[in-house]
Amino acid sequence: MGEGVAVSGDVVARSDTRIDMWSKMGSNVEVGKNAYLGEFVSIEGKLTVEGDLDVGKEVKIKGGFVAKGWIVVRNPVPVIMFLFLYIKEMMRLGRGEEIEKALEELFDESEEEYESENREPAEKILIIPTGAKITPEAMEVGGDAVIGNNCYLIGNLKAQSVETGKALVLKGSIYSEGKINIGENSTIYGNLSSKGQVNIGRNTKVFGGIKAESVLLHENARVEGTIKAPSGLSFLRDAAEMPVLAEVNALGKVIPREVKEPVPQDGILKAPDIIEIDSLIKTSAKAKNGFIPGREGMSARTVVLGRTRRTGGVRRLRRRHEAGEHQSRS
């Protein structure tokens, strides 16, 4: 836990626990191995440590404590005074090189320690950042919240952005100023609210509503509540299938679009641009140089004879019609 963390309930750890300075534990703390408490840490309940206990100054434990290993109480003031007196005496003796060597050995971290501190966290480590607040009702973080795989959480979550792993079970809602990324095979028993984008992974179920600027929903995911996204809702398929992207506008109308291009590596599909192609066939018969079906290879004489036959046929038909009318009158 970082500095200034406040937890209202119990804290139970199977392995080591490190609580930084100015943190407040509202109930009991049980540690399976070693415990490290920073300065000005207060515990309202009882502290139980199966291993060693290392505490700083001004630590308050109201319910008492039990430690089965070594108990070390750190007080940095005597160490600083000792260094001051040591440096003063070495300077009086004129041993400047010895002072530099001692300070390098004291404050310089070895390469192994540096690598161990910058190593990626293990799969089963819970990291609570500085200034976080954890209560049975809500978990509030001032920065980004990252949740690993196969986690089970109870309570609402508030953070600047939220990214979860696979198979998360959250019995509560998520409120974020930025993006919310929910991993696959997760179950959320609550609402998702974000001022940015909300991404729902494969086979994820949300038993609540979603309110965000835009929503990217996998086709195998399910949302039981209402989705409100002014910038639109997009459905995403797996890369192995024929990628189809359907968009829903602000009025709720679904606009399907087929994408013929392969799916990019980031998994987000882009709708293709609409291209208009001019026709090469001229439909007007008056075009001088255009192509007219059925008129190729015809000479001028053939065209004139055809026109004369059509005109003569019309005239003969008219004469027969007029002769028939005269006979009927007589």
- Split into its structural domains, the chain has a count of 2
Residue 72 has pLDDT above 60, yes or no: yes
Q: In this structure, are 232 and 137 located in the same domain? A: yes
Instruction: Evaluate whether residue 46 is within a structural domain.
Output: yes
Main-chain phi, psi angles of 34, to 5 degrees = -90, 150
Q: How confident is the model at residue 109 (pLDDT cuts 50, 70, 90)?
A: low
- Least confident window among 2-11, 64-73, 227-236, 277-286: 277-286
Instruction: Please give the C-alpha separations between residue 210 and each of 8, 32, 196, 197, 238, in angstroms, as whole numbers.
Output: 29, 40, 12, 10, 22
Q: How confident is the model at residue 272 (pLDDT cuts 50, 70, 90)?
A: very low
Instruction: Evaluate whether residue 156 is within a structural domain.
Output: yes
Q: What is the mean pLDDT of residues 184-192?
A: 94
Instruction: Evaluate whether residue 21 is within a structural domain.
Output: yes
Q: In this structure, are 71 and 145 located in the same domain? A: no
Q: What is the mean pLDDT of residues 6-35?
A: 92
Question: 19 forms bridges with which residues in the sheet?
Answer: 37
Domain containing 55: what range?
1-76
Domain termination residue (choose one: 57, 76, 95): 76
Instruction: Evaluate whether residue 93 is within a structural domain.
Output: no
Q: In this structure, are 142 and 228 located in the same domain? A: yes
Q: How confident is the model at residue 97 (pLDDT cuts 50, 70, 90)?
A: confident
Instruction: Evaluate whether residue 4 is within a structural domain.
Output: yes
**Percentage, residues of the chain above pLDDT 90:** 36
Instruction: Evaluate whether residue 119 is within a structural domain.
Output: no
Q: In this structure, are 72 and 137 located in the same domain? A: no
Residue 165 has pLDDT above 50, yes or no: yes
| 50 burial type by CB count under 10 A (0-12 exposed, 13-18 middle, 19+ buried) | middle
Q: In this structure, are 138 and 211 located in the same domain? A: yes
Confidence (pLDDT) at 235: 87
213: number of Cβ within 10 Å = 15
Q: How confident is the model at residue 30 (pLDDT cuts 50, 70, 90)?
A: very high
The string of pLDDT tens digits covering residues 140-161 is 988 889 998 999 998 899 999 9
Q: How confident is the model at residue 277 (pLDDT cuts 50, 70, 90)?
A: very low
Domain termination residue (choose one: 51, 76, 101): 76
Instruction: Evaluate whether residue 326 is within a structural domain.
Output: no
Query: Could you write out the DSSP letters of every residue in 164-225?
Result: E-SS-EEES-EEESS-EEEPTT-EE-S-EEESSEEEE-TT-EESS-EE-SEEEEETT-EE-S
- Least confident window among 47-61, 75-89, 127-141, 178-192: 75-89
Q: In this structure, are 149 and 232 located in the same domain? A: yes
Single-letter residue type at 75: N
Q: What is the mean pLDDT of residues 163-171?
A: 93
Residue 243 has pLDDT above 70, yes or no: no
Q: In this structure, are 148 and 60 located in the same domain? A: no
Q: In this structure, are 217 and 142 located in the same domain? A: yes
Q: In this structure, are 140 and 231 located in the same domain? A: yes
The string of pLDDT tens digits covering residues 299-327 is 555 655 666 666 666 567 677 767 765 55
Query: Tokens at residue 260, please?
Result: 């013929």
Instruction: Evaluate whether residue 89 is within a structural domain.
Output: no
Domain termination residue (choose one: 76, 106, 124): 76
d(CA 180, CA 123): 21
3-state secondary structure of 3: coil
| Residue 246 or 225, more confident | 225
Confidence (pLDDT) at 290: 44
